Structure 1
Amino acid sequence: MQVKKLNQILFDELIDCFLKAFDDYFVKMPTDKGYYQKRWEAAGVDFNLSYGMFDDEELVGFIIHAIDERFGIPTAFNTGTGVIPAYRGQRIVKSIYDYALSDLKKNGIQKSILEVITNNDKAVLAYKGVGFKIRKEYKCYAANLSSDSKSEVDIKKIRTDKYDWSKLPHQEYYSWDFQKETILRDSFDLYEVMHNNVADAYFIIHPEKKLLAQFDVFNTSKEAWERLFKAIGQVEAEVKIINVDTRLTDKMEFINLLGLENTIDQFEMELEF
């Protein structure tokens, strides 16, 4: 078997292997190829710095990297790692990383990060064996924010590429797919929540995926959080909230107060070169 870069194969070949590898995953994965084309393009996937294990000409395992400079550091984000069932137990991910990390360094990458479900013990152990360390813990939720209230919160929609991102708090706490660079490459809507003609919260949502990418308040009052979630419910009653950093105690406290359904938890792991 041999490690090669994924820029040498057809997209359909990669997707076929990807879907086989994730067929028995903790979370049911979409099967639409167009979904992955859009998602990986927004994330910044670079197949020149993504890698696969090949048995003769058959792709049997892979690591797909998005490449970007985030917070001033050239970074590789592992947006997908998998091995098809027949080839598991052969330390294929470790072998791919042995090749990949050296190549990433040669290309000026200084850090690699990834996300892994917290109770996927085998994967967590495998990544630790490569040298990754847990840096963040995220919680994911399913939320029904419908309300019987007749009153509405004042909201203002603003284009993401016209917004002053410097005023948004806690940007370093968001995961790769919900950071500014990814959001600007995708079809997200940004809203400010107004109170007495002043913005006191904001949220960013993907209308098609019903995915809440970012949300926060500009002051930490309970009333500001209440207005924020009411405003989100006005735009989309049922939303998915992915990767809330558990260090954001005010945010976590209000989510717990709402009693949202915790669907899954993830670690963000990091390896600095």
Structure 2
Amino acid sequence: MVVTNTLKHTDMEDLLPVFNEAFSDYDIPISMTAEAFASHLESLSYSKDDSVGLFDKRRLVGFLLIGRRGSVAYDAGTGIIPSYRGRGLSHTLIDAAAAHLAARGCTTFVLEVLDTNTKAKNLYQSHGFAIRRNLLCFSAKQDELVGQSDLLLEPYEDGYRVPSCYESSYQNNDQSVVEGLYTCSDIVEKGTRKGVAWYHHTRGSIAQINIEPQYRDENFMKEAIISCARACTTQTVRILNVDEADTVVINALQAAGFTKFTTQSEMVLILEEQKQ
């Protein structure tokens, strides 16, 4: 009999092989090393006490991993190993997680789902999740970048703030990039600071590029993107979860040689307070 319980007593080494098996046949397969998995969860403020697993005679066969910040819970990964699918266990897992989170004081449950995964999207909607916005994901190979950049990425000067025009997704927000050990640099042109960028050299990931409003156009954004991409040591560079409404970034990415490889829906469930 499959039952739900928290992951409070489940170690990373026991969780990782189940995670990799559960995501091995997804539209975008995922396989992580122990180091990458730990870093990924740490950057999302993973809470094993808030996370829920599916267990068959103490064997972990599914999970809903939770990142938590204050009263906001984030789905850091939901999966069931292939041999246990088709039994309605996804419904059981979501219901158990929502009730558990509400009882622990969470008021908002946020997740992203690939738009190609219509089954999962419909599943979440059937449990009360609503689509808040659409997010686009892009990638480019270093040798296929188009254009040059004269912008400099200089050490970040503490106290310099440039507001984002569009709210960052959970995994790209300020706390995530700090906990994920992203580099923060000032974007400088001819001695003038004009923005701030967060990027990860060894992961080839750009999380945020925030430009002063008076300089924020497609040409400047394109140069900023190229500078960040060139600062990465990977052959491929990705920028995930760009708000569909942010045409400046989208057009600049395409002009710089980036290609959209998938889209996601950001979904939200408002949790009702429950007693333990």
Q: What's the counterpart of residue 26 of structure 1? A: 27
Q: CA deviation at 1:113?
A: 0.6
User: 158, 165, 168: which is aligned to 2:163?
Assistant: 168
* Identity across the alignment (%): 22
Alignment of 1:1-273 (within 5 A): 1-69=2-70, 74-144=71-141, 152-158=150-156, 162-165=158-161, 167-170=162-165, 172=167, 174-218=168-212, 219-236=215-232, 238-273=236-271
Gap regions ≥5 residues in structure 1: none
Distance 1:267 1:152 in 2: 35
SS class of match (1:170): coil
- Whose helix proportion is higher, 1 or 2? 1
SS class of match (1:216): strand
Q: Which moved more, 1:237-246 or 1:39-48?
A: 237-246
CA RMSD after TM alignment: 2.1
Letter in 2 for 1:85: P
Q: Which moved more, 1:119-128 or 1:192-201?
A: 192-201
Letter in 1 for 2:180: D
Distance 2:247 2:221 in 1: 13
**Would the aligned equivalents of 2:133 and 2:243 in 1 still touch at CA under 8 Å?**
yes
**Would the aligned equivalents of 1:193 and 1:227 in 2 still touch at CA under 8 Å?**
no
Q: TM-score, normalised by structure 1?
A: 0.89
Q: TM-score, normalised by structure 2?
A: 0.88
Q: Which moved more, 1:114-123 or 1:193-202?
A: 193-202
Gap regions ≥5 residues in structure 2: 272-276
The aligned length equals: 265
SS class of match (1:229): helix
Letter in 2 for 1:155: L
Deviating beyond 4 angstroms after TM superposition, the runs of 4 or more aligned structure 1 residues are 145-151
CA deviations over 1:7-63 (Å, ceiling 9, x no partner): 122322211211111111111313311211111012101000100111111111110
Q: Which moved more, 1:138-147 or 1:108-117?
A: 138-147
Letter in 2 for 1:271: L
